[in-house]
Amino acid sequence: MTAFSAPIAEQIWDMKYRFKDAGGTPIDETVEDTWKRIAGALAAVEADPKAWEGKFYDALADFKYLPAGRITAGAGTARSVTLFNCFVMGTVPDSMGGIFDMLKEAALTMQQGGGIGYDFSTIRPKGASVMGVAADASGPLSFMDVWDAMCRTIMSAGSRRGAMMATMRCDHPDVEDFITAKSDPARLRMFNMSVLITDPFMDAVKADGSWDLVFGGQVYRTVQARDLWDAIMRSTYDYAEPGVIFIDRINQMNNLNYCETIAATNPCGEQPLPPYGACLLGSINMARLVSNPFENAATLDEGALTDLVATAVRMMDNVVDASRFPLEAQQAEAKAKRRIGLGVTGLADALLMVGLRYGSEEAAAQTDKWMHQIARAAYLASVELAKEKGSFPLFDAEKFLASGAMKHMDDDVKDAIRQNGIRNALLTSIAPTGTISLYAGNVSSGIEPVFAYAYTRKVLQKDGSRTEEEVVDYAVQLWRDLKGDAPLPDYFVNAQTLAPLDHVRMQAAAQKWIDSSISKTINCPEDISFDDFKEVYMAAWDQGCKGCTTYRPNDVTGSVLSVSQEASPSEVPAQVRQEGEGAEVVYMSEPLDRPQELEGATYKLKWPDSEHAIYITVNDLVIAGHRRPFEVFINSKNMEHFAWTVALTRMISAVFRRGGDVSFVVEELKAVFDPRGGAWMQGKYVPSILAAIGGVIEKHMVATGFLAGEGMGLKADPQADVVAINGGPRGKACSSCGSYDLRMVEGCMTCGSCGYSKCG
């Protein structure tokens, strides 16, 4: 017998969370060994570890409490990794030296696996004068490009997480450029981006008033607030970014508003954090706590929920002491405030089990009740910890209780805090749970609706063959087990059919009792009108949300996979079609065989101070009269170059033969810098010989029409008429497993097959 309820759950555990030695031999023989490892590591900081290890194990067993992936994978392994998921870095100084000091800190944090957030509002706008230098400032977006390149470099070195969040205030003079930056499909791809929206700005929007763009006390220009709001909405409608963060509301509601100011969040937005703030995450699996599911007597076991929350709070508080930190400043910040982020997953499944339609007023009311109970239990558990271990060092009872979040807390909880203190400054957050939800049996993710009732997943076997298996939502599978072939009730809804304002209603219901914030994606249909789309954001503001993230299928990020239907053979043409101008974009789950003849060109690259030239040949595949790169050959007489040129030849050719938008190869190569220094070539500084090779390949792509121009990405719309050669579903392939199962979940594009997302 196995604890896993679905094959995908065991595969996710083996791939992401199972402890293995350096050679790949499993140390965790079973998932029970994983639970024992975590329980032992978190109990080790207790005065009496044995007294708590069993209690912690019971909370983990049957996937009832799900620590975030960093804890599950790292606790008890003795590896030098952080168990914290989220970091906001220090305030970026408005100086060249300070900016690059911050860049170094970001690299060190991501190297250990942390997703980071930055507020770039502190950098002077483009064109502003620079004291002591006869030049104008290049502006915050130019430095964001540097951060983006650094993040791609860290990821190419094998880091699991490379996600970043960039924020900018709505009154910064460069905010309009910030809003439209990601309309370029090749720019700032490692960032999620959000505009910090203030209360006065929203007042000006509603009043159709003017709005000053200011830096350093100087008004650079004045715009109409509603025009700026519409620009944010239009960019988000067209490109799914930027999101909006209601920053004044976050600071007003913050329990710690007396000792910190927040200006940024972690990559998915559920953790607004101060400079050097860090937070760890974990989720209560609501789907495992419902008794008598799908019956008239169905109910969530509130006693079990309260007990589980109390244990989870203690475990998470112990992580603060058990974890390593990339930077000393992050450790000091975490221990001064002992912030934790306890959330939920499987909420939509739990609602289905008790007979409620996600998004309905009844479901929102039930969500409010459940989240209220979790908040009560978490705060009271933290009070009990304060009695035993002391309050967090910066605790000030009267100031803490005067915060916006505490004003609607129950009087008995506030009295307990006033009398005994509290161990953790903030306790609740709803984080992305895509991977751990799969690991727990494909429960619905976070507070999101069920994405799909079922879909087919191709699984790579050890012998190289692929098998197909059905992946079924946890609640749907439970219905089948209990009710057989009986049709699903009409209260079953999923993300594909849910009205956007129903999403907002659920987010607002949960937000009332969450002292941090919520990672949630409001899926919008492609044909939603612009006015209706804007109404989603205004509803989020009016209903008390702390931010809003939507996803509407668009030209840059593509369409969400339709999982309810599969393409018929007639929908997959034998000859790839071409619509409009430019190069066809073809996504292949298997590489094409090489034709006998290919068209190509050879380029000579002479690197300064090098004795021998490098010759680069790029051959193209011709499809429907249009050329796309198929293979590369790199040759040199310099034997010092032999190994890496052969490796580069093989790797780039392998990527090209897989198809898709391969323009990223150029960007990756161009971002590589040589610590020994680059060279000036044709009046332009090139940071390394690899960057020069990338420039040659880009030149070829432009010449053949595959790219529109230098740094401009694909000439044609990368999602127009995307075709899977071998008859698979349409859409972009996952960069981790190759499956065509990408979906926007909780603010991050996520693979439903392997759980991969750039946000971890």
Note if 270 is an active site residue.
yes
Parallel/antiparallel/unpaired status of strands 684-686 and 679-681: antiparallel
Note if 254 is an active site residue.
no
Angle at 597 between CA 595 and CA 600, to 5 degrees: 115
Backbone angles phi, psi at 193, to 5 degrees: -130, 140
Instruction: Please report, as a single letter, which amino acid is at residue 25.
Output: T
Residue of 266, 285, 424, 619 marked catalytic: 266
CB atoms inside a 10 Å sphere around CB 298: 16
Query: Does 242 sit behind a cis peptide bond, omega within 30 degrees of 0 on the bond before it?
Result: yes
CB atoms inside a 10 Å sphere around CB 500: 22
Parallel/antiparallel/unpaired status of strands 626-636 and 614-623: antiparallel
Parallel/antiparallel/unpaired status of strands 522-523 and 550-551: parallel
3-state secondary structure of 573: coil
User: Among 196, 243, 216, 231, which Cα is nearest to 125's?
Assistant: 216
Residue count of the chain: 760
Give whole-number Cα distances, 235 to 210, 228, 347, 542, 749, in Å: 21, 11, 31, 21, 18
Q: Which residues have C-beta within 8 Å of that of residue 420, sequence separation ≥ 6?
A: 383, 386, 387
Backbone angles phi, psi at 147, to 5 degrees: -60, -40
Residue of 105, 241, 260, 270 marked catalytic: 270
Parallel/antiparallel/unpaired status of strands 614-623 and 748-751: unpaired
Give whole-number Cα distances, 676 to 146, 679, 680, 683, in Å: 19, 10, 14, 20
Note if 268 is an active site residue.
yes
Residue of 268, 279, 548, 734 marked catalytic: 268
Q: How far apart are CA 70 and CA 82, in angstroms?
A: 7
Catalytic residues: 266, 268, 270
